[in-house]
């Protein structure tokens, strides 16, 4: 198992550790509910240094990004970021990702899921036929996500960058806690506000930044948060998790990601497939649902109609700490996808009633 530069910090703080995407990661500290509420109501720190980061440079960098992603990266100016995905040749999703425009038309940073670093690198490299300079900086990059309504207030004292007024999906670069060349972005995965901090793991920067953050925030209730609460937070917002809600077999249109699939843009992988899906209509759709009967939906549980006929499957499910009820996401046939439709989750041969609801849940 790999470690992040903060692994020892998690162990010292008594985190329950487990393997995730090949890394020894903190799953929880004080308990999922407590950590979840800390982020929704105040602020929490996530170590997400296991994520992957690639730098793409050169006059053909934008062209390469445009050809391999669904969104329109030509709209990005320096200091702006975008959510997108890499489609495969069958109309599925290689990965979902973030694109940061460091220098317009010249330098971009792509942030990918930890479990897909090698897969994504190979996929992009395969399409790099115009000499774009590519650097995989994943191993050398630290990433902390400080999320919650009070996150930026706590952090502002550590930098002269104006992070209090950082707009959603923008970023800035500068000195943070005495460390130079720190990138601070507002592209969070919790829906609770806050920022992500990217910096190079060198000259004790990881210790310096971690210690400064907790020194500034501990008295104000800032807590370290594990990956389990990250999952409940993102699910309440209806954010997709790669490997659960989206994968190589799911289309972005089926997953409700039509808004990042820009069919007006010039040629990109599987554009024709997505155009046909839009014209003909998709056959299944990712929906949010809440349980009516008691029970917690889990990944791969069957979704059925009232007669017990399978109409889809659960992709994510949990007991929502914010709502105090069980919620989930899953693919169902279009006939059962409208809001307030009654569906049934098969749990140990029992059909438990649920209803389709609008996302985000919280």
**pLDDT for the residue numbered 216:** 98
Tell me the pLDDT of the chain (362 aa) as tens digits: 999 999 999 999 999 999 999 999 999 999 999 999 999 999 999 999 999 999 999 999 999 999 999 999 999 999 999 999 999 999 999 999 999 999 999 999 999 999 999 999 999 999 999 999 999 999 999 999 999 999 999 999 999 999 999 999 999 999 999 999 999 999 999 999 999 999 999 999 999 999 999 999 999 999 999 999 999 999 999 999 999 999 999 999 999 999 999 999 999 999 999 999 999 999 999 999 999 999 999 999 999 999 999 999 999 999 999 999 999 999 999 999 999 999 999 999 999 999 999 999 97
**pLDDT for the residue numbered 107:** 98
Angle between helices 227-236 and 32-41 (to 10 degrees): 60
Say yes or no: 179 and 125 in one domain. Answer: no
The residues that bridge with 141 in the sheet, in sequence order, are 200
Position 272 in a domain: no
CATH of the domain at 80: 3.30.70.1400
Position 81 in a domain: yes
Say yes or no: 305 and 224 in one domain. Answer: no
Position 126 in a domain: yes
CATH of the domain at 322: 2.40.30.110
**pLDDT for the residue numbered 81:** 98
| H helices present in 107-204, as ranges | 117-126, 151-155
Say yes or no: 123 and 154 in one domain. Answer: no
**pLDDT for the residue numbered 76:** 98
**pLDDT for the residue numbered 303:** 98
Say yes or no: 44 and 155 in one domain. Answer: yes
**pLDDT for the residue numbered 362:** 72
Tell me which residue range forms the domain holding 100.
52-136
Say yes or no: 67 and 94 in one domain. Answer: yes
Position 265 in a domain: no
Maximal C-alpha separation, the chain:
63
Q: Where are the beta strands (DSSP E) in the chain?
A: 16-20, 23-28, 44-47, 52-57, 81-87, 93-103, 107-112, 133-136, 141-147, 171-176, 179-185, 194-200, 223-225, 284-291, 302-304, 310-320, 325-333, 342-347, 350-357
Q: What is residue 69's DSSP assignment?
A: -
**pLDDT for the residue numbered 162:** 98
Say yes or no: 102 and 226 in one domain. Answer: no
Say yes or no: 288 and 353 in one domain. Answer: yes
Asked which of 115, 136, 157 is the last residue of a domain, the reply is 136
User: How many domains does the chain divide into?
Assistant: 3
Say yes or no: 128 and 146 in one domain. Answer: no
| H helices present in the chain, as ranges | 7-12, 32-41, 61-68, 117-126, 151-155, 205-217, 227-236, 271-280
């Amino acid at each position: 198992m790999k470690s992040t530069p903060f692994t020892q910090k998690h162990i010292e703080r008594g985190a329950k550790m487990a393997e995730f995407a090949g890394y020894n990661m903190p799953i929880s500290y004080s308990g999922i509910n407590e950590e979840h509420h800390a982020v929704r109501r105040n602020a929490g720190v996530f170590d997400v240094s296991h994520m992957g980061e690639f730098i793409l440079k050169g006059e053909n960098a934008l062209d390469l990004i445009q050809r391999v992603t669904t969104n329109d990266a030509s709209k990005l100016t320096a200091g702006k970021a975008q959510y997108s995905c890499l489609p495969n040749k069958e109309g599925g999703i290689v990965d979902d990702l973030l694109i940061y425009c460091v220098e317009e038309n010249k330098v971009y940073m792509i942030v990918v899921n930890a479990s897909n670093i090698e897969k994504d690198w190979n996929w992009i490299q395969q399409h790099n036929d115009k000499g774009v300079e590519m650097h995989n900086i994943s191993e050398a990059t630290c990433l902390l996500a400080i999320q919650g309504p009070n996150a930026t207030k706590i952090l502002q004292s550590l930098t002269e960058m104006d992070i209090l007024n950082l707009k959603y999906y923008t970023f800035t670069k500068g000195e943070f806690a005495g460390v130079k060349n720190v990138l601070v972005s507002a592209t969070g995965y919790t829906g609770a506000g806050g920022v992500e901090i990217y910096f190079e793991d060198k000259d004790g920067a990881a210790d310096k930044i971690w210690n400064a953050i907790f020194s500034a925030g501990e008295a104000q209730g800032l807590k370290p948060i594990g990956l389990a609460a990250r999952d409940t937070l993102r699910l309440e917002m209806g954010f997709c998790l790669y490997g659960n809600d989206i994968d190589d077999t799911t289309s972005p249109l089926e997953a409700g990601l039509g808004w990042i699939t820009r069919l007006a843009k010039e040629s990109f992988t599987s554009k024709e497939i997505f155009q046909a899906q839009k014209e003909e209509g998709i056959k299944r759709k990712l929906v949010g649902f809440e349980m009516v009967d008691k029970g917690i939906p889990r990944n791969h549980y069957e979704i059925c109609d009232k007669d017990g006929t399978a109409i889809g499957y659960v992709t994510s499910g949990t007991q929502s700490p914010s709502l105090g009820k069980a919620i989930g996401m899953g693919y169902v046939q279009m006939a059962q996808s409208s809001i307030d439709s009654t569906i049934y989750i098969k749990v140990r041969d029992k059909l438990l009633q649920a209803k389709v609801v609008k996302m985000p849940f919280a």
